[in-house]
Protein backbone atom coordinates (compact mmCIF):
# COMPACT_ATOMS: atom_id res chain seq x y z
CA UNK A 1 0.00 0.00 0.00
CA UNK A 2 2.81 2.39 0.85
CA UNK A 3 6.51 2.41 0.27
CA UNK A 4 7.52 1.16 3.69
CA UNK A 5 5.51 -2.02 3.45
CA UNK A 6 8.24 -4.16 1.82
CA UNK A 7 10.66 -3.02 4.54
CA UNK A 8 8.22 -4.14 7.18
CA UNK A 9 7.10 -7.27 5.43
CA UNK A 10 10.62 -8.61 5.48
CA UNK A 11 10.60 -8.65 9.24
CA UNK A 12 6.94 -9.40 9.76
CA UNK A 13 7.40 -13.11 10.41
CA UNK A 14 9.47 -12.13 13.42
CA UNK A 15 6.93 -9.69 14.73
CA UNK A 16 4.29 -11.58 16.55
CA UNK A 17 3.77 -8.87 19.04
CA UNK A 18 3.41 -10.38 22.50
CA UNK A 19 0.80 -8.96 24.83
CA UNK A 20 0.65 -5.62 23.08
CA UNK A 21 -1.86 -3.36 24.74
CA UNK A 22 -2.91 -0.33 22.75
CA UNK A 23 -4.27 1.45 25.75
CA UNK A 24 -5.39 4.53 23.86
CA UNK A 25 -5.82 3.05 20.46
CA UNK A 26 -9.45 3.99 20.19
CA UNK A 27 -8.60 7.68 20.44
CA UNK A 28 -6.01 7.29 17.67
CA UNK A 29 -8.45 6.09 15.05
CA UNK A 30 -8.21 8.64 12.24
CA UNK A 31 -11.62 10.14 12.67
CA UNK A 32 -10.22 13.44 13.90
CA UNK A 33 -10.95 16.68 12.05
CA UNK A 34 -8.23 18.07 9.78
CA UNK A 35 -6.65 19.98 12.65
CA UNK A 36 -7.00 19.99 16.36
CA UNK A 37 -5.74 22.07 19.18
CA UNK A 38 -3.59 20.65 21.93
CA UNK A 39 -2.16 17.15 22.09
CA UNK A 40 -3.14 13.62 22.96
CA UNK A 41 -1.11 10.70 24.22
CA UNK A 42 -1.21 7.07 23.23
CA UNK A 43 0.41 4.55 25.54
CA UNK A 44 1.70 1.45 23.77
CA UNK A 45 2.88 -1.37 26.01
CA UNK A 46 4.24 -4.80 25.36
CA UNK A 47 6.96 -7.24 26.31
CA UNK A 48 9.87 -9.09 24.79
CA UNK A 49 11.42 -12.43 25.75
CA UNK A 50 14.34 -14.51 24.48
CA UNK A 51 12.02 -15.64 21.68
CA UNK A 52 12.27 -12.09 20.34
CA UNK A 53 16.08 -12.01 20.42
CA UNK A 54 17.58 -10.69 17.17
CA UNK A 55 14.20 -9.68 15.77
CA UNK A 56 12.39 -6.40 15.14
CA UNK A 57 8.97 -5.70 16.53
CA UNK A 58 6.57 -3.43 14.71
CA UNK A 59 4.29 -1.54 17.08
CA UNK A 60 1.72 0.19 14.92
CA UNK A 61 -0.40 3.19 15.78
CA UNK A 62 -2.67 5.46 13.79
CA UNK A 63 -2.10 9.19 13.38
CA UNK A 64 -5.12 11.35 12.54
CA UNK A 65 -4.97 14.35 10.23
CA UNK A 66 -3.89 17.67 11.67
CA UNK A 67 -0.87 16.47 13.68
CA UNK A 68 2.12 18.81 13.56
CA UNK A 69 4.54 17.03 15.91
CA UNK A 70 5.06 13.40 16.89
CA UNK A 71 7.04 12.63 20.04
CA UNK A 72 7.76 9.17 21.42
CA UNK A 73 9.37 8.29 24.76
CA UNK A 74 10.20 4.65 25.43
CA UNK A 75 11.07 3.01 28.72
CA UNK A 76 11.60 -0.63 29.70
CA UNK A 77 12.37 -2.60 32.82
CA UNK A 78 15.12 -4.84 31.43
CA UNK A 79 18.26 -2.79 31.97
CA UNK A 80 19.47 -4.68 35.02
CA UNK A 81 18.80 -7.94 33.20
CA UNK A 82 21.02 -6.67 30.30
CA UNK A 83 18.19 -6.34 27.78
CA UNK A 84 18.89 -3.85 24.96
CA UNK A 85 16.12 -2.37 22.85
CA UNK A 86 16.78 -0.39 19.66
CA UNK A 87 14.32 2.23 18.37
CA UNK A 88 13.24 3.17 14.88
CA UNK A 89 10.28 4.72 13.14
CA UNK A 90 8.42 4.17 9.89
CA UNK A 91 5.71 6.50 8.64
CA UNK A 92 2.98 5.91 6.07
CA UNK A 93 5.36 7.11 3.36
CA UNK A 94 8.51 5.39 4.49
CA UNK A 95 11.41 5.13 6.87
CA UNK A 96 11.87 8.07 9.26
CA UNK A 97 14.86 7.12 11.38
CA UNK A 98 16.74 4.67 13.57
CA UNK A 99 18.56 5.53 16.76
CA UNK A 100 19.68 2.11 17.91
CA UNK A 101 19.74 1.95 21.67
CA UNK A 102 21.44 5.34 22.11
CA UNK A 103 18.23 7.32 22.57
CA UNK A 104 15.14 6.61 24.64
CA UNK A 105 12.89 9.00 22.76
CA UNK A 106 12.63 11.40 19.89
CA UNK A 107 10.47 14.06 18.32
CA UNK A 108 9.81 15.07 14.75
CA UNK A 109 7.86 17.72 12.88
CA UNK A 110 7.86 19.26 9.41
CA UNK A 111 10.93 21.36 10.23
CA UNK A 112 12.98 19.61 12.87
CA UNK A 113 13.65 16.26 14.43
CA UNK A 114 15.83 14.65 17.06
CA UNK A 115 19.14 13.67 15.43
CA UNK A 116 18.86 10.17 13.90
CA UNK A 117 15.35 11.02 12.67
CA UNK A 118 14.24 12.89 9.56
CA UNK A 119 12.06 15.97 9.77
CA UNK A 120 9.00 16.00 7.57
CA UNK A 121 5.28 16.23 7.72
CA UNK A 122 3.56 13.97 10.26
CA UNK A 123 1.33 12.29 7.71
CA UNK A 124 -2.00 10.86 8.77
CA UNK A 125 -2.17 7.10 8.57
CA UNK A 126 -0.53 4.05 10.07
CA UNK A 127 2.89 4.47 11.65
CA UNK A 128 5.14 1.87 13.21
CA UNK A 129 7.53 2.15 16.10
CA UNK A 130 10.29 -0.36 15.44
CA UNK A 131 11.78 -2.06 18.46
CA UNK A 132 14.87 -4.10 17.72
CA UNK A 133 15.98 -6.69 20.25
CA UNK A 134 19.77 -7.17 19.91
CA UNK A 135 20.18 -8.48 23.45
CA UNK A 136 17.92 -10.33 25.87
CA UNK A 137 18.95 -13.27 28.06
CA UNK A 138 17.26 -16.64 28.48
CA UNK A 139 14.46 -16.56 31.02
CA UNK A 140 14.13 -12.78 30.95
CA UNK A 141 10.85 -10.99 30.22
CA UNK A 142 11.27 -7.26 29.57
CA UNK A 143 8.25 -5.00 29.58
CA UNK A 144 8.35 -1.77 27.60
CA UNK A 145 6.13 1.27 27.40
CA UNK A 146 6.07 3.80 24.55
CA UNK A 147 4.29 7.08 25.17
CA UNK A 148 3.32 8.59 21.82
CA UNK A 149 2.38 12.28 21.96
CA UNK A 150 0.46 13.55 18.94
CA UNK A 151 0.45 17.34 19.00
CA UNK A 152 -1.68 19.54 16.82
CA UNK A 153 -1.72 23.30 17.12
CA UNK A 154 -0.25 23.92 20.56
CA UNK A 155 -0.85 27.25 22.26
CA UNK A 156 2.67 27.31 23.64
CA UNK A 157 6.01 28.06 22.06
CA UNK A 158 8.33 25.33 20.79
CA UNK A 159 11.22 24.47 23.10
CA UNK A 160 14.36 22.85 21.65
CA UNK A 161 15.54 21.92 25.14
CA UNK A 162 13.64 19.34 27.20
CA UNK A 163 13.71 21.60 30.28
CA UNK A 164 14.49 25.26 31.05
CA UNK A 165 18.19 26.06 30.68
CA UNK A 166 17.95 27.78 34.05
CA UNK A 167 15.08 27.45 36.49
CA UNK A 168 15.51 30.65 38.52
CA UNK A 169 13.79 33.98 37.96
CA UNK A 170 16.04 36.85 36.95
CA UNK A 171 17.38 39.11 34.22
CA UNK A 172 18.32 37.22 31.06
CA UNK A 173 20.31 38.82 28.24
CA UNK A 174 19.79 37.90 24.64
CA UNK A 175 19.56 38.74 20.97
CA UNK A 176 16.26 38.28 19.15
CA UNK A 177 17.53 38.73 15.58
CA UNK A 178 20.27 36.95 13.60
CA UNK A 179 20.70 35.30 10.20
CA UNK A 180 22.65 32.27 9.03
CA UNK A 181 23.20 30.07 5.97
CA UNK A 182 19.48 29.37 5.99
CA UNK A 183 18.88 32.83 4.58
CA UNK A 184 21.35 35.60 3.68
CA UNK A 185 23.92 35.09 6.45
CA UNK A 186 27.41 34.67 5.01
CA UNK A 187 30.97 34.65 6.30
CA UNK A 188 34.50 33.72 5.27
CA UNK A 189 35.10 29.98 5.15
CA UNK A 190 38.24 28.36 6.64
CA UNK A 191 40.07 29.02 3.35
CA UNK A 192 38.74 32.57 3.10
CA UNK A 193 35.96 32.03 0.55
CA UNK A 194 32.61 33.69 1.08
CA UNK A 195 30.17 30.99 2.15
CA UNK A 196 26.71 30.69 3.70
CA UNK A 197 27.47 30.94 7.41
CA UNK A 198 26.57 27.87 9.50
CA UNK A 199 24.26 28.36 12.45
CA UNK A 200 26.70 27.06 15.07
CA UNK A 201 28.88 30.14 14.55
CA UNK A 202 25.97 32.35 15.64
CA UNK A 203 25.61 30.25 18.77
CA UNK A 204 29.38 30.36 19.38
CA UNK A 205 29.31 34.16 19.08
CA UNK A 206 26.35 34.41 21.46
CA UNK A 207 28.05 32.18 24.01
CA UNK A 208 31.39 33.95 23.71
CA UNK A 209 29.85 37.35 24.33
CA UNK A 210 27.95 36.16 27.39
CA UNK A 211 24.37 36.01 26.15
CA UNK A 212 21.80 33.79 27.86
CA UNK A 213 19.61 33.37 24.78
CA UNK A 214 19.69 33.92 21.04
CA UNK A 215 17.21 33.57 18.22
CA UNK A 216 18.17 32.57 14.67
CA UNK A 217 15.57 34.36 12.58
CA UNK A 218 16.23 33.44 8.97
CA UNK A 219 13.96 34.97 6.34
CA UNK A 220 10.71 33.14 5.53
CA UNK A 221 11.90 29.67 6.45
CA UNK A 222 11.95 27.11 9.22
CA UNK A 223 14.89 25.27 7.64
CA UNK A 224 17.33 26.42 10.34
CA UNK A 225 15.42 24.61 13.05
CA UNK A 226 16.63 21.08 12.37
CA UNK A 227 20.24 22.19 12.93
CA UNK A 228 19.20 24.23 15.94
CA UNK A 229 17.44 21.33 17.62
CA UNK A 230 20.63 19.30 17.31
CA UNK A 231 22.83 22.18 18.46
CA UNK A 232 20.69 22.96 21.53
CA UNK A 233 21.83 19.68 23.10
CA UNK A 234 25.46 20.80 22.93
CA UNK A 235 24.89 24.51 23.65
CA UNK A 236 23.07 23.61 26.84
CA UNK A 237 23.98 26.81 28.68
CA UNK A 238 22.49 29.00 25.93
CA UNK A 239 18.77 29.07 25.18
CA UNK A 240 17.95 28.96 21.48
CA UNK A 241 14.61 30.73 20.95
CA UNK A 242 13.00 29.44 17.73
CA UNK A 243 12.31 32.28 15.34
CA UNK A 244 11.99 33.40 11.74
CA UNK A 245 11.87 36.82 10.13
CA UNK A 246 8.56 37.02 8.30
CA UNK A 247 9.81 39.14 5.43
CA UNK A 248 7.05 40.78 3.45
CA UNK A 249 7.26 43.48 0.80
CA UNK A 250 5.62 45.86 3.32
CA UNK A 251 7.69 45.25 6.41
CA UNK A 252 9.50 42.59 8.43
CA UNK A 253 8.44 40.97 11.70
CA UNK A 254 10.02 38.25 13.79
CA UNK A 255 7.77 35.31 14.63
CA UNK A 256 9.31 33.99 17.84
CA UNK A 257 8.66 30.63 19.50
CA UNK A 258 7.55 28.99 16.25
CA UNK A 259 9.42 26.49 14.05
CA UNK A 260 7.11 26.05 11.08
CA UNK A 261 7.36 28.71 8.37
CA UNK A 262 4.70 31.39 8.41
CA UNK A 263 2.93 32.68 5.30
CA UNK A 264 4.70 35.87 4.18
CA UNK A 265 3.08 36.78 0.85
CA UNK A 266 1.26 39.76 2.31
CA UNK A 267 -1.13 41.43 -0.09
CA UNK A 268 -1.89 38.22 -1.99
CA UNK A 269 -4.82 35.84 -1.54
CA UNK A 270 -2.49 33.71 0.63
CA UNK A 271 -2.22 36.55 3.16
CA UNK A 272 -4.58 39.40 2.28
CA UNK A 273 -3.77 41.29 5.49
CA UNK A 274 -1.86 40.87 8.73
CA UNK A 275 -4.64 39.27 10.75
CA UNK A 276 -4.34 35.64 9.55
CA UNK A 277 -0.60 35.80 10.27
CA UNK A 278 -1.24 37.18 13.74
CA UNK A 279 -3.95 34.58 14.35
CA UNK A 280 -1.58 31.78 13.39
CA UNK A 281 1.27 33.09 15.51
CA UNK A 282 -1.07 33.50 18.47
CA UNK A 283 -2.59 30.04 18.00
CA UNK A 284 0.92 28.59 18.26
CA UNK A 285 1.75 30.53 21.42
CA UNK A 286 4.30 32.62 19.56
CA UNK A 287 4.98 36.33 19.38
CA UNK A 288 5.22 38.66 16.39
CA UNK A 289 7.63 41.56 16.82
CA UNK A 290 7.81 44.35 14.23
CA UNK A 291 11.42 44.70 13.05
CA UNK A 292 13.27 47.93 12.21
CA UNK A 293 9.99 49.77 11.42
CA UNK A 294 11.68 53.10 10.73
CA UNK A 295 14.04 51.92 8.04
CA UNK A 296 13.39 53.23 4.56
CA UNK A 297 12.08 50.84 1.94
CA UNK A 298 13.93 50.94 -1.33
CA UNK A 299 16.57 49.23 -3.42
CA UNK A 300 19.01 49.16 -0.50
CA UNK A 301 16.56 47.36 1.75
CA UNK A 302 13.56 45.69 0.14
CA UNK A 303 10.37 46.01 2.14
CA UNK A 304 12.29 46.95 5.29
CA UNK A 305 10.12 49.79 6.61
CA UNK A 306 6.84 48.90 8.26
CA UNK A 307 4.34 50.08 5.65
CA UNK A 308 1.82 47.28 5.99
CA UNK A 309 -1.74 48.58 6.24
CA UNK A 310 -2.50 47.74 9.85
CA UNK A 311 -6.10 47.79 11.03
CA UNK A 312 -5.13 46.38 14.42
CA UNK A 313 -1.96 48.01 15.78
CA UNK A 314 -3.14 46.95 19.24
CA UNK A 315 -2.03 43.44 18.24
CA UNK A 316 1.63 44.53 18.00
CA UNK A 317 3.19 42.80 21.02
CA UNK A 318 6.77 43.96 20.53
CA UNK A 319 8.77 46.39 18.42
CA UNK A 320 12.47 46.13 17.57
CA UNK A 321 13.30 49.73 18.41
CA UNK A 322 17.07 49.34 18.10
CA UNK A 323 18.41 47.33 15.16
CA UNK A 324 22.08 46.40 14.99
CA UNK A 325 22.15 46.64 11.21
CA UNK A 326 21.10 50.27 11.44
CA UNK A 327 23.66 50.85 14.21
CA UNK A 328 26.41 49.36 12.04
CA UNK A 329 25.58 51.63 9.13
CA UNK A 330 25.11 54.87 11.10
CA UNK A 331 27.44 54.20 14.04
CA UNK A 332 24.66 55.21 16.42
CA UNK A 333 21.72 53.55 18.13
CA UNK A 334 19.77 56.78 17.71
CA UNK A 335 19.07 57.90 14.20
CA UNK A 336 16.10 59.37 12.37
CA UNK A 337 15.37 55.82 11.17
CA UNK A 338 15.40 54.09 14.52
CA UNK A 339 12.30 52.26 15.69
CA UNK A 340 11.67 54.41 18.75
CA UNK A 341 9.68 56.95 16.71
CA UNK A 342 7.27 54.25 15.50
CA UNK A 343 7.10 52.68 18.98
CA UNK A 344 6.39 55.91 20.82
CA UNK A 345 3.66 56.70 18.32
CA UNK A 346 1.97 53.46 19.44
CA UNK A 347 2.55 54.33 23.11
CA UNK A 348 0.91 57.70 22.52
CA UNK A 349 -2.13 55.89 21.11
CA UNK A 350 -2.45 54.21 24.49
CA UNK A 351 -0.96 50.89 23.30
CA UNK A 352 1.65 48.93 25.27
CA UNK A 353 3.99 47.05 22.88
CA UNK A 354 7.30 46.07 24.46
CA UNK A 355 10.49 47.61 23.07
CA UNK A 356 13.15 45.03 22.26
CA UNK A 357 16.37 45.05 20.23
CA UNK A 358 18.15 42.79 17.78
CA UNK A 359 21.60 42.71 16.20
CA UNK A 360 20.30 41.53 12.79
CA UNK A 361 23.75 40.00 12.45
CA UNK A 362 24.39 38.35 9.06
CA UNK A 363 28.01 37.28 9.70
CA UNK A 364 28.75 35.74 13.08
CA UNK A 365 32.50 35.68 12.27
CA UNK A 366 32.43 39.47 11.68
CA UNK A 367 34.31 39.11 8.38
CA UNK A 368 32.10 41.90 6.99
CA UNK A 369 30.69 45.13 8.38
CA UNK A 370 28.06 44.07 10.90
CA UNK A 371 26.73 44.62 14.34
CA UNK A 372 28.04 41.65 16.31
CA UNK A 373 25.68 39.10 17.83
CA UNK A 374 24.42 40.63 21.10
CA UNK A 375 24.74 44.25 19.97
CA UNK A 376 22.31 45.49 21.13
CA UNK A 377 21.29 43.11 23.90
CA UNK A 378 17.71 42.81 25.11
CA UNK A 379 17.49 42.13 28.84
CA UNK A 380 14.32 40.35 29.93
CA UNK A 381 13.12 39.62 33.46
CA UNK A 382 11.84 36.06 33.17
CA UNK A 383 10.69 33.39 35.60
CA UNK A 384 13.12 30.93 33.98
CA UNK A 385 15.37 30.60 30.96
CA UNK A 386 13.07 28.86 28.48
CA UNK A 387 11.39 30.08 25.31
CA UNK A 388 8.04 30.31 27.10
CA UNK A 389 9.69 32.14 30.01
CA UNK A 390 11.44 34.67 27.77
CA UNK A 391 8.34 35.38 25.65
CA UNK A 392 6.20 35.79 28.78
CA UNK A 393 8.86 38.16 30.11
CA UNK A 394 8.69 40.24 26.93
CA UNK A 395 4.89 40.32 27.18
CA UNK A 396 5.16 41.60 30.75
CA UNK A 397 7.26 44.54 29.51
CA UNK A 398 9.88 44.19 32.27
CA UNK A 399 12.54 44.54 29.62
CA UNK A 400 15.32 47.00 28.78
CA UNK A 401 17.79 47.32 25.94
CA UNK A 402 21.54 47.51 26.55
CA UNK A 403 23.04 49.17 23.49
CA UNK A 404 26.59 48.20 24.51
CA UNK A 405 25.86 44.47 24.57
CA UNK A 406 25.76 42.01 27.45
CA UNK A 407 27.25 42.98 30.79
CA UNK A 408 25.93 43.44 34.30
CA UNK A 409 24.09 46.74 33.76
CA UNK A 410 20.50 46.88 35.02
CA UNK A 411 17.74 49.45 35.02
CA UNK A 412 14.43 48.54 36.64
CA UNK A 413 11.31 50.61 37.34
CA UNK A 414 8.44 50.19 39.78
CA UNK A 415 5.54 52.57 40.31
CA UNK A 416 3.57 52.48 43.55
CA UNK A 417 0.39 54.21 44.65
CA UNK A 418 -2.75 53.67 46.68
CA UNK A 419 -3.84 50.93 44.26
CA UNK A 420 -0.63 48.90 44.59
CA UNK A 421 2.55 48.46 42.55
CA UNK A 422 3.29 48.22 38.82
CA UNK A 423 6.64 47.00 37.54
CA UNK A 424 8.21 48.23 34.32
CA UNK A 425 5.73 47.32 31.57
CA UNK A 426 2.81 47.35 33.99
CA UNK A 427 0.03 49.86 34.63
CA UNK A 428 -0.52 51.77 37.88
CA UNK A 429 -4.05 53.05 38.55
CA UNK A 430 -3.62 56.55 39.91
CA UNK A 431 -6.54 58.99 39.74
CA UNK A 432 -6.19 62.75 39.43
CA UNK A 433 -5.42 64.15 42.85
CA UNK A 434 -3.75 60.96 44.05
CA UNK A 435 0.00 60.70 44.28
CA UNK A 436 2.38 57.82 43.71
CA UNK A 437 6.12 57.14 43.49
CA UNK A 438 8.40 55.92 40.73
CA UNK A 439 11.34 53.89 41.97
CA UNK A 440 14.32 53.72 39.60
CA UNK A 441 16.88 51.06 40.45
CA UNK A 442 20.17 50.85 38.59
CA UNK A 443 23.29 48.71 38.71
CA UNK A 444 26.61 49.07 36.92
CA UNK A 445 25.83 52.55 35.62
CA UNK A 446 28.27 54.70 37.61
CA UNK A 447 29.27 57.77 35.61
CA UNK A 448 26.14 57.67 33.48
CA UNK A 449 23.11 59.95 33.47
CA UNK A 450 19.40 59.22 33.69
CA UNK A 451 17.02 60.88 31.25
CA UNK A 452 13.29 60.79 31.87
CA UNK A 453 11.13 60.32 28.78
CA UNK A 454 7.38 60.75 29.06
CA UNK A 455 4.47 60.83 26.69
CA UNK A 456 0.77 60.73 25.99
CA UNK A 457 0.11 63.97 27.85
CA UNK A 458 2.18 63.21 30.94
CA UNK A 459 2.48 65.87 33.63
CA UNK A 460 5.84 67.61 33.92
CA UNK A 461 8.34 65.34 35.68
CA UNK A 462 11.98 66.03 36.35
CA UNK A 463 14.88 64.30 38.03
CA UNK A 464 17.09 66.43 40.22
CA UNK A 465 20.74 65.31 40.03
CA UNK A 466 20.26 62.75 37.24
CA UNK A 467 23.92 61.68 37.38
CA UNK A 468 24.70 58.24 38.77
CA UNK A 469 27.77 58.13 41.01
CA UNK A 470 27.46 54.74 42.69
CA UNK A 471 27.49 51.27 41.20
CA UNK A 472 24.01 50.69 42.57
CA UNK A 473 21.53 53.51 42.88
CA UNK A 474 17.88 53.83 43.85
CA UNK A 475 15.84 56.92 43.01
CA UNK A 476 12.38 57.79 44.19
CA UNK A 477 10.35 60.24 42.12
CA UNK A 478 6.93 61.68 42.86
CA UNK A 479 4.37 60.50 40.33
CA UNK A 480 1.19 62.59 40.13
CA UNK A 481 -2.18 61.12 39.26
CA UNK A 482 -3.84 62.38 36.11
CA UNK A 483 -7.26 62.48 34.51
CA UNK A 484 -5.71 61.00 31.36
CA UNK A 485 -3.33 58.04 30.88
CA UNK A 486 0.39 58.66 30.43
CA UNK A 487 3.67 56.74 30.34
CA UNK A 488 7.14 57.32 31.69
CA UNK A 489 10.41 55.54 30.86
CA UNK A 490 14.14 56.22 31.05
CA UNK A 491 17.15 56.48 28.79
CA UNK A 492 20.63 56.12 30.24
CA UNK A 493 23.46 58.06 28.59
CA UNK A 494 27.23 57.90 29.04
CA UNK A 495 29.43 60.91 29.76
CA UNK A 496 29.50 61.83 26.06
CA UNK A 497 25.70 61.73 25.84
CA UNK A 498 25.62 58.47 23.90
CA UNK A 499 22.58 56.27 24.54
CA UNK A 500 23.54 53.20 26.58
CA UNK A 501 20.28 51.79 27.96
CA UNK A 502 16.63 52.24 27.06
CA UNK A 503 13.91 51.08 29.45
CA UNK A 504 10.32 50.18 28.77
CA UNK A 505 7.70 52.43 30.37
CA UNK A 506 5.50 52.16 33.37
CA UNK A 507 1.99 53.22 32.44
CA UNK A 508 -0.20 55.40 34.65
CA UNK A 509 -3.95 55.67 34.19
CA UNK A 510 -6.82 56.94 36.32
ZN1 LIG B 1 14.57 42.69 8.30
ZN1 LIG C 1 16.93 40.49 9.70
CA of 83 from ligand 1 middle (Å) equals 53
pLDDT confidence tier of residue 457, bands split at 50, 70 and 90: confident
pLDDT digits 0-9 by tens, 137-168 = 999 999 999 999 999 998 899 999 999 999 99
pLDDT digits 0-9 by tens, 223-236 = 999 999 999 999 99
Rounded to 10 degrees, the C-alpha dihedral 163/169/173/175 comes to 50
CA of 280 from ligand 2 middle (Å) equals 21
Give the C-alpha separation, 325 to 183, whole Å: 16
Mean pLDDT of the chain: 92
CA of 324 from ligand 1 middle (Å) equals 11
CA of 404 from ligand 1 middle (Å) equals 21
What pLDDT sits at residue 332? 87
Give the C-alpha separation, 488 to 482, whole Å: 13
CA of 184 from ligand 1 middle (Å) equals 11
CA of 201 from ligand 2 middle (Å) equals 17
CA of 266 from ligand 1 middle (Å) equals 15
Checking if the pLDDT of 6 tops 90, the result is no
Which ligand lies nearest to the CA atom of residue 178 in the structure?
Answer: 2
Fold of 408-510: Coagulation Factor XIII; Chain A, domain 1 (2.70.50)
Give the C-alpha separation, 303 to 297, whole Å: 5
CA of 9 from ligand 1 middle (Å) equals 51
Give the C-alpha separation, 226 to 259, whole Å: 9
Domain boundaries, the chain: 5-151, 408-510
* Sequence-ordered strand ranges (E) for 152-301: 170-175, 186-188, 194-196, 213-216, 239-248, 251-256, 287-290
What pLDDT sits at residue 37? 81
Which ligand lies nearest to the CA atom of residue 297 in the structure?
Answer: 1
For residue 228, the SS3 value is helix
pLDDT confidence tier of residue 302, bands split at 50, 70 and 90: confident
Which ligand lies nearest to the CA atom of residue 359 in the structure?
Answer: 2
CATH of 5-151, one of 3.20.20.80, 3.40.50.10490, 1.10.3720.10, 2.60.120.380: 2.60.120.380
CA of 257 from ligand 1 middle (Å) equals 17
Averaged pLDDT, 470-480: 96
CA of 322 from ligand 1 middle (Å) equals 12
Checking if the pLDDT of 189 tops 90, the result is yes
CA of 245 from ligand 1 middle (Å) equals 7
pLDDT digits 0-9 by tens, 258-298 = 999 999 999 999 999 999 999 999 999 999 999 999 998 88
Please say whether the beta carbons of 160 and 342 come within 8 A. Answer: no
pLDDT digits 0-9 by tens, 9-35 = 333 333 333 233 333 332 333 333 456
CA angle 451, 403, 210 (to 5 degrees): 135
CA of 210 from ligand 1 middle (Å) equals 24
Global confidence as pTM:
0.91
* Sequence-ordered strand ranges (E) for 283-425: 287-290, 318-323, 354-358, 377-382, 399-402, 410-417, 420-423
pLDDT digits 0-9 by tens, 409-421 = 999 999 999 999 9
Q: What is the 3-state secondary structure (H, E, C) of 75-126?
A: EECCCCCCCEEEEEEEECCEEEEEEECCCCEEEEECCCECCCECCCCCCCEE
Give the C-alpha separation, 116 to 407, whole Å: 38
For residue 477, the SS3 value is strand
Amino acid sequence: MTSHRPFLRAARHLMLCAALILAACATATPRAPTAFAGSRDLVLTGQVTRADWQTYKEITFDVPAGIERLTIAVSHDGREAHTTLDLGLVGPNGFRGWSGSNKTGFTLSATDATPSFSPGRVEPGRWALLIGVPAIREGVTTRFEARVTLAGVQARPVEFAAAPIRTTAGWYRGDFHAHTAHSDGSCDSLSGKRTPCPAFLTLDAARATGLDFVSVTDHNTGAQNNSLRELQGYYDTLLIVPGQEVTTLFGHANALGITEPMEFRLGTPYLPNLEPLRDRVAAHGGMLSVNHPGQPTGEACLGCGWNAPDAHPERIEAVEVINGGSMASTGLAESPNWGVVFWERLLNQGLHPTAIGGSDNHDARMTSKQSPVGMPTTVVYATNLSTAGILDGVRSGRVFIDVAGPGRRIIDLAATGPSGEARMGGTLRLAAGQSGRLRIETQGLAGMTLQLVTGNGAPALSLTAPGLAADTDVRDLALPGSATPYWVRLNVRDASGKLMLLSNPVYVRP
